[in-house]
Amino acid sequence: MGFGLVAFSHAEEKLGGEAASLPVKSGPWGIMEVYDIDLEPPENYVSYILEQEDRPITWCFTGIRAPELPELLKRIGLNSDQIQRLSDPDLIRQFDDRVEVIPPRELVKSLTSEVRVQLYQVQSMDPEYPRYQSTFYIDPRWRKEVAEIPGIQPQTVESVTSLFYPRGRGTQLSELPLILGELKEDSERRLLVRSLLRERSLAVRLKIGAGSDHRFLTEYWSARGKNQGMVPLMEAVLKRGDLEHYDLVHLLPPLPRMLLYTYRDASLVVGNSSPDCFWTAANFFNQEPSGRFLDDLPFASALEELYHRVSEPSEFGDLVLMIDETLGYGVHACNYIAGDLVFTKNGRSFSQPWVINTLEEVIKRYSTKPGVTVKYFRLNSEFSQKS
C-alpha cells in the first residue's frame, strides 16, 4: 500500500519550539501541545488537477427537460438576459435524465455570490454528478497568503476571489477552469492550484512531565483495549522519565498512524470507489483497511450493529457523524482524538489528505445547510475489529 508524500510548510520551526502552541484542554489524555501546519500535495497531484480542470465549464441539472430549464434558472435567481443567453440550443445537451449547459465564460463571471450559492446547491444534490460536491474549500487566510507568493499576479487573485461563494459557514470555489483558461503561464497555473490544494492540519505532541499519571494516560490512549498495540511503547517512554514530549502519531492505531499527513494513491482505489471519510472512520481501529466500507450500506450496517450512541465524544476513537436530516444521509464522518481534536479525511478526492483538525472547524466545513446535525457513536467495548 502506498501513499503520496506530503510537503510541510512552516512546520519544522513551529515544532522546534519557536512558536507557541495553540490552546487545547488538558484531560485524561494528558496535556497536548498543538501546532498549526500546512500540507501541500506532491507535484504529480497538481499535474492531475490541471489535466482534470482543463475542460469547458458544464452545468448539470438532473430530472428536467430542456423546455423546463428557463423556469429553473429563474428560480435560481438568474436575470432574463442571462436566461435568454443560456436558452441557446447550441449550449444545451439533453440526456435521458438530465440537461447539461455549457455557459459562456463572461456570463459565469457575472453571476452574483447569491446566485452561485443557489446554482451550485441545485447541482450538488445529484450524487451521480459530483462536480459541485467536490469544490475547493477556501481557508480564510488564503487571499493574504497567496498574495505573497511570487509568480501569482494580483489580477489572478482578484479573478479567483470574485468567484468565491459562501456555503454554510465556509467559503468555496467551484469554477477553477474559468481561471485556468485565462492564465498563459504554466508556472502560474501550477502555483495557483498548489495554493488551493494547501490543507490545514494540526501537529500534536503529548507533554510528559514528572507529574503525569501514567495509569490514566495508558488507559485513555489504549481505548479500553481497542488500541492495545500502543501500550508497550508508551509504557517504555513513560518509564524513561527523560522525555518531555511524545508525538501523537505514535499513539494512533496502525491504520491512521500510516495515513496521517498523507495523500491516498491508486493502490487504495477499488473499481470506481476510493477511500473517503466514512471508510476512514469505520476503519479507525482496524489493523488493515476493510474495503467493504468503500460502500455506504456496509457503513450504515456497521454503525447499527457494532456501535452505540453517546451524548458527546469523550473516548479516543469515538465516531462523529454529520447527517443531513432533510435528505436523510450522512455528509461526513471522523474520529475523536482528544480535547477538541479529530482525525479526518475531508472528502473522497485524492487531493484531500488525512489530517488532524478541530471538531469545530470540521463542523463549520460541512454545515452547508440548516438541516445538518451532529451525532456521536462509540464502538462496542467487546468488539475488536478485524480487516
pLDDT tens profile 85-144: 999 999 999 998 889 999 999 999 999 999 998 998 888 666 555 554 457 889 888 999
pLDDT at 349: 74
Q: Whose CA is closest to 34, among 45, 25, 23?
A: 23
Would you give the DSSP letter of residue 16?
Answer: I
Q: How far apart are CA 178 and CA 162, in angstroms?
A: 11
Listed in order, strand segments (DSSP E) in 208-270 are: 245-247, 263-264
Would you give the DSSP letter of residue 283?
Answer: T
Q: Are 278 and 301 in contact (CB under 8 A)?
A: no
Q: Are 333 and 278 in contact (CB under 8 A)?
A: yes
Residue 187 lies in a domain: no
Residue 303 lies in a domain: yes
Q: How far apart are CA 92 and CA 226, in angstroms?
A: 55
Q: How far apart are CA 108 and CA 82, in angstroms?
A: 10
Query: Which of 146, 180, 214 is a domain's end point?
Result: 180
Residue 31 lies in a domain: yes
Across 243-257, average pLDDT: 90
Q: What is the per-residue pLDDT across 80-102, written as a single tens digit (0 to 9) for each?
A: 999 999 999 999 999 988 899 99
Check whether residue 74 and residue 139 sit in a common domain.
yes
Mean pLDDT of the chain: 84
Would you give the DSSP letter of residue 23?
Answer: P
Check whether residue 204 and residue 349 sit in a common domain.
yes
Reply yes or no on whether the pLDDT at 229 is more than 80: yes
Check whether residue 72 and residue 221 sit in a common domain.
no
Check whether residue 155 and residue 265 sit in a common domain.
no
Reply yes or no on whether the pLDDT at 266 is more than 60: no
pLDDT at 140: 87
Check whether residue 169 and residue 204 sit in a common domain.
no
Q: Which residues contact 168 (CB under 8 A, 6 or more apart)?
A: 364, 365, 366, 367, 368, 369, 372
User: Exposure pattern of 222-237 as b/e (b: 16+ CB <10 Å)?
Assistant: bbeebbeebeeebeeb
In the numeric block, which cell numbers belong to residue 136?
A: 475547493
Backbone phi, psi, residue 310, to 5°: -130, 155
Check whether residue 207 and residue 117 sit in a common domain.
no
**What angle do helix axes 69-76 and 113-124 make, rounded to 10 degrees?**
130
Check whether residue 306 and residue 361 sit in a common domain.
yes
Q: How far apart are CA 387 and CA 290, in angstroms?
A: 5
pLDDT at 99: 92
Residue 386 lies in a domain: no
274 or 215, greater pLDDT: 215
- H or E segment at 177? helix 176-180
Q: C-alpha distances in angstroms, 22 versus 34, 124, 357, 371? A: 5, 35, 12, 31
Per the structure, the count of domains in the chain is 2
Residue 245 lies in a domain: yes
Check whether residue 172 and residue 63 sit in a common domain.
yes
- Gap between the terminal Cα atoms of the chain: 14
Residue 271 lies in a domain: yes
Residue 117 lies in a domain: yes
| Tally of CB atoms within 10 A around 240 | 9
The residue range of the domain holding 234 is 3-46+199-379
- DSSP SS3 for 354: strand
Hey, which residues does 37 pair with through a beta bridge?
A: 201
Check whether residue 207 and residue 355 sit in a common domain.
yes
Query: Which of 133, 151, 180 is a domain's end point?
Result: 180
Burial class (CB in 10 A: 0-12, 13-18, 19+), 375: middle
Would you give the DSSP letter of residue 371?
Answer: T
Listed in order, strand segments (DSSP E) in 102-169 are: 136-138, 165-167
Check whether residue 208 and residue 298 sit in a common domain.
yes
Q: Are 230 and 250 in contact (CB under 8 A)?
A: yes
Residue 291 lies in a domain: yes
Check whether residue 95 and residue 235 sit in a common domain.
no
Task: Tell me the HSE value of 24 on the side-chain side, using a 13 A CA sphere.
Answer: 29
Model pTM score: 0.81
Query: Which of 116, 145, 180 is a domain's end point?
Result: 180
Check whether residue 40 and residue 121 sit in a common domain.
no
pLDDT at 275: 81
322 or 24, greater pLDDT: 322
Of the spans 44-58, 61-75, 358-372, which averages the highest pLDDT? 61-75
Q: How far apart are CA 60 and CA 102, in angstroms?
A: 9
